[in-house]
Structure 1
Amino acid sequence: MKILFCGEGFPEARRQLATLLPDDELLAFPPDKLGPHIAEADVVVPTVNRVDEELIRKGTFGLIQQFGVGLESVDIGAATKNGVMVARIPSEESGNAASVAEHAILFMLMLSRNWNRLSRAREENRPLPWGSPEGQALLGKKVCIVGLGGIGRELARRLAGFGVRITTVDDHPGRTVPDIEIARQYSLAEIPAALAEANYVVLSLNYTPDRFHLIDTAAIAAMKSGVYLINVARGGLIDPDALLAALKSGHVAGAGLDVFWEEPVDMSHPIFSENVIATPHTAGVTDVSYEGIARAFAENMKRYAAGEKPLYLANAPDRLRKARPGQTVMR
């Protein structure tokens, strides 16, 4: 099969897949160069690029398979209408959730221990008084995890050892984490009350269009002064203008951002002059997650080539697009 990546990023993904799928052809082109190659593809991999109805109609591929979880760049409705299956790799199945959870804790610790202030002093060759600046311990603090999916559950498991009080906001009533004490669970409708008591707010919620700017001026105002805000989910969840204003005023003491309102993000944006620790959407980019995602991805390619239904589908077309010559017709 020909597996087309919509972008030239993720080289390590393709390297691992080449080993696992030696009989398949892996192609990668920038979005503006996809046109001449889309008709040849059997499977399309969106990565972080848009797969809209126009692109879907140009091809004859029957599967859009993400290398990871996020499908916000895929027009799933158009894919379903055109008989194209869409699949992802769940974060807990691959080790991705554990990697992202670790990254969220990294943000929490760096913000708590004034990493930016220490780094700037070092870069400017400016000494700080011995024992300064004073840090904040996680012990005894309140952490609100917004989204108790794979990442949220892995985060709760890891935070339990820090002696924090965990609360959660989730859209699945009653979803919990076995053997982990959660002080209180809130629904999404109760998010202002949940935010009000937290020293740290961590976003690990699936992004959907109705959650655009879930964390806006009103939500930030509901948070206690001096809160730390961490986003390892999707950039669209936070209104960057509201966050910038809150950072400038000190209402939000600092932010850890792995995802942004646009990607790649312009690092000259004024928000990065505030107490923000930023990483380029790499929370899940680890040896463990890449190996796990690649194995699950390769298994789905083998299932699809054999005419079997791929795992982890996000849609269910009534009629499937006709298979390409040489492929087994889907059964």
Structure 2
Amino acid sequence: MRLLFCSKSFSADLSWDHLARILPGHEIITCTRDAVAEHLRGVDIIIPFAAPITRALIERGSFGLIHEFAAGLDSVDVEAATEAGIWVARLPAATTGNADSVAEMALLHMLLLTRRWKETQIALAERRLYEPAGSTLMGKTACLIGMGGLGTAIARRLAALDMHLLGLRKRPEQGGPKNIPFQRVVGMDALHSVLPEADYVVLSLPATSETHHIINKEALASMKPGAFLINVGRGTLVDPQALQEALSSGHLAGAGLDVFWEEPVDPRHPIFQENVTATPHIGGITDTSFWMRARTFAANVERYVQGQTPLYAVNQPIHPRGPIA
């Protein structure tokens, strides 16, 4: 089978060619995200890696499976794929090392902001000792917005640091994750009533029409003065102009961002003049996550070859396309 990865590599250190040993007999080809249409000939499976898989592109190809190498399917027209008989599958964050990797990134941003990292670098350069005085996560309150696999992984780590946890989720009746102590879990409609209680607000939601700019001017105004915002979900969750204003006014003490309103983000954007720690959407880009995802992905490729329903499929085509003969 011919597999098209719509990115030249997973990262600079991990190329898709590394997967050859667990995908014997299959051809791996790659392209850039803006050149997918030029590489569709003979392709059985497309791996978007966030490349746009639009209706027009779907209609041009003869592939039968779109399989993201991550949990999010923001860039895939699932409706068009289903109509065309194409399976769409993903890799759940909770079981592929992705959630754990991103959770560690969220923790990194929280620690950098808490210990005033930018100021420590200035003090170091100026040979000043014992300053600035930082704070701790211990005893502080974190509000986790989104409690799927990623939110659960973050909660587990923050609970171990003796933080108080508040949770927001679409179905609050499900409560908090098992064996993780939450002060309470509420629905998304309670957002503005919970935000004033949190020292840290951590976003781990997917990008949908419902979550677009869920953190807007009003939500930021509801946050506790001096609080921190951490976004490891999707860039569209936050209104960047409103965030910049909240930071420049001093209402927020800082923000930690691994995802942005546009990617790649312009490093000259004025928001980076504020107390912002930023990483280039690398939360899930770890060797552990790569190989755990790879094993699940390879198993699903074989299911598709055998004519079986892919695991973690998000659709059910009435007349599925089979592999190209």
Q: Secondary structure at the match of 1:211?
A: coil
Deviation at 1:291, TM superposition (A): 1.1
Aligned to 2:207: 207
CA distance in 2, matches of 1:55, 1:77: 13
Aligned to 1:117: 119
Identify which of 15, 28, 33 aligns with 1:26.
28
Q: Structure 1 residue 38 and structure 2 residue 37: aligned?
A: no
CA distance in 2, matches of 1:142, 1:36: 50
Q: What TM-score, normalized by structure 2, do the two folds share?
A: 0.96
- CA change 1:34–1:205 in 2 (3 A) is closer
Aligned to 1:225: 225
Deviation at 1:41, TM superposition (A): 0.7
Q: Secondary structure at the match of 1:192?
A: helix
Q: Conserved in 1, the CA contact under 8 Å of 2:123 and 2:131?
A: no
Aligned to 1:328: none
Deviation at 1:55, TM superposition (A): 0.8
CA distance in 1, matches of 2:150, 2:254: 21
Aligned to 2:142: 143
Q: Conserved in 1, the CA contact under 8 Å of 2:307 and 2:322?
A: no
Q: Secondary structure at the match of 1:4?
A: strand
Q: Conserved in 1, the CA contact under 8 Å of 2:201 and 2:229?
A: yes
CA distance in 2, matches of 1:158, 1:174: 23
**For residue 306 of structure 1, what is the amino acid of its counterpart?**
Q
**For residue 109 of structure 2, what is the amino acid of its counterpart?**
F
Q: CA RMSD in A?
A: 1.3
Q: Note the alpha carbon deviations across 1:177-231, whole angstroms, 9 max, x for none.
A: 1111100111001111121100000001122122111100000001010111000
- CA change 1:3–1:48 in 2 (3 A) is same
CA distance in 2, matches of 1:229, 1:100: 15
Deviation at 1:99, TM superposition (A): 1.1
CA distance in 2, matches of 1:238, 1:244: 10
Q: 1:201-280 to 2 correspondence within 5 Å?
A: 201-280=201-280
Aligned to 1:306: 306
**For residue 64 of structure 1, what is the amino acid of its counterpart?**
I
CA distance in 1, matches of 2:228, 2:80: 39
CA distance in 1, matches of 2:121, 2:22: 41
**For residue 25 of structure 2, what is the amino acid of its counterpart?**
D
Deviation at 1:298, TM superposition (A): 0.5
Segments of structure 1 that go 5 or more residues without pairing to the other structure are 326-331
Identity over the aligned pairs, expressed in percent? Answer: 45
Q: What TM-score, normalized by structure 1, do the two folds share?
A: 0.94
Q: Secondary structure at the match of 1:288?
A: helix
CA distance in 2, matches of 1:205, 1:321: 32
The number of residues matched between the two structures is: 322
Q: Structure 1 residue 86 and structure 2 residue 88: aligned?
A: yes
Q: Conserved in 1, the CA contact under 8 Å of 2:9 and 2:16?
A: no
- CA change 1:120–1:73 in 2 (3 A) is farther
Q: Note the alpha carbon deviations across 1:42-98, whole angstroms, 9 max, x for none.
A: 000110211101111110001000011111011111111111111000011111111
Deviation at 1:152, TM superposition (A): 0.7
**For residue 245 of structure 2, what is the amino acid of its counterpart?**
A
CA distance in 1, matches of 2:156, 2:33: 39
Q: Conserved in 1, the CA contact under 8 Å of 2:46 and 2:66?
A: yes
Identify which of 68, 71, 78 aligns with 1:69.
71
**For residue 187 of structure 2, what is the amino acid of its counterpart?**
S
Aligned to 1:290: 290
**For residue 153 of structure 1, what is the amino acid of its counterpart?**
T
Aligned to 2:197: 197
CA distance in 2, matches of 1:179, 1:167: 14
Q: Secondary structure at the match of 1:320?
A: coil
**For residue 237 of structure 1, what is the amino acid of its counterpart?**
L
Q: Conserved in 2, the CA contact under 8 Å of 1:79 and 1:85?
A: yes
Q: Conserved in 1, the CA contact under 8 Å of 2:195 and 2:224?
A: yes
